[in-house]
Amino acid sequence: MTSVGSGTLRVRVLFFATYADRVGRETEDFILPAPATVGDVVRRVRAVLPGGERIPERPLAAVNRVHARLDAAVADGDEVALLPPLAGG
Amino acid sequence: MLHLTRQPIDVGRLLAAVAGSERGGTACFIGTVRDHQDGRSVVRLEYSAYEPMAEQECAAIVAEAVARWPVRVALEHRLGELAIGDAAVVVIASSAHRAPAFEACRYVIEEAKRRVPVWKKEHFADGVIEWVDPTRPASAAAAPAQVRGA
């Protein structure tokens, strides 16, 4: 991803399983005002993506492949994954 | 891929991987595809994952078990389309004695269920296809994934 100007940050959001079905894609980039949290990313997804309102307000999430709380900060270039309820095993 | 596979899980190979002449106790958990869910007939399951994170999370769980008990641990999860009776996940823990083997095996499967980003689609006999949501009240309740700071 190309870098963005100061005062903003770009994150790549990944969608899986039922969330990918709901928004009709597996990935989407977003530019947000800095600083931003995972919760801010979720709010943006819900507000602007068609079908985004079908993602829960408080989904499980990961930042750069590590489970993250909604109040965790995101940085420019981060990969934010929104995870439907896990169903392994 | 270390912990994820698209091939049938080879339990014998995993057993051999954790075996050792000083290991007198080996515990094994095999999760297999069930033919029913909430009273409905299931014909097959389709597993998918956030693969890089799933690999990382599996490795972390195994490392935690090895740090906590004197065990050697194998953990493998299968992805793709599985038939009834196929093994979806296998955990094997071996130690000098049975107690740490059982405890580590239990720890690894419980943590894997809570933390590894894997999802499954159920194909029902009536043609309906649905993503499994273990948090749905009709299904067996499952604890939410453990959340760590980012």
CB contact under 8 A, A89 and B147: no
Check: complex ipTM more than 0.95: no
Q: Global pTM? A: 0.90
Number of structural domains in chain A: 1
Tokens 């597996």 identify what position?
A: A26
CB contact under 8 A, A86 and B134: yes
Tokens 């700071």 identify what position?
A: B149
How sure is the predictor about B139, in pLDDT bands with cuts at 50, 70 and 90?
very low
**Residues comprising chain B, all counted:** 150
Task: Tell me the two tokens of residue B95.
Answer: 């130690």
Q: Which residue of B has its CA nearest to A15?
A: B50
Contact residues, chain A, for B135 at CB < 8 Å? 85
CATH number of B4-33+51-116: 3.90.1170.40
Q: How confident is the model over B10-33, as a mean pLDDT?
A: 96
B146 has a pLDDT exceeding 70: no
Is residue A3 situated within a structural domain? no
The domain that holds A54 is classified in CATH as 3.10.20.30
In angstroms, rounded to a whole number, what is the distance separating the alpha carbons of residues A42 and B136?
21
Closest-CA distance of chain B to residue A41, Å: 14
Tokens 């309740």 identify what position?
A: B141
How sure is the predictor about A2, in pLDDT bands with cuts at 50, 70 and 90?
low
What percentage of chain A has pLDDT greater than the value 90?
93
How sure is the predictor about B148, in pLDDT bands with cuts at 50, 70 and 90?
low
Is residue A1 situated within a structural domain? no
In angstroms, rounded to a whole number, what is the distance separating the alpha carbons of residues B54 and B50?
6
Beta-bridge mates of residue A72 = none
Helix (H), strand (E) at residue B91: strand B87-95
Contact B73, B18 (CB under 8 A): yes
Question: Coil, helix or strand for A24?
Answer: coil
Is residue A59 situated within a structural domain? yes
B1 has a pLDDT exceeding 70: no
Contact B31, B86 (CB under 8 A): no
Is residue A30 situated within a structural domain? yes
Contact residues, chain B, for A87 at CB < 8 Å? 118-120, 131-134
Domain that holds residue A12: 8-83
Phi, psi dihedrals of residue B128, rounded to the nearest 5°: -70, 140
Is residue A2 situated within a structural domain? no
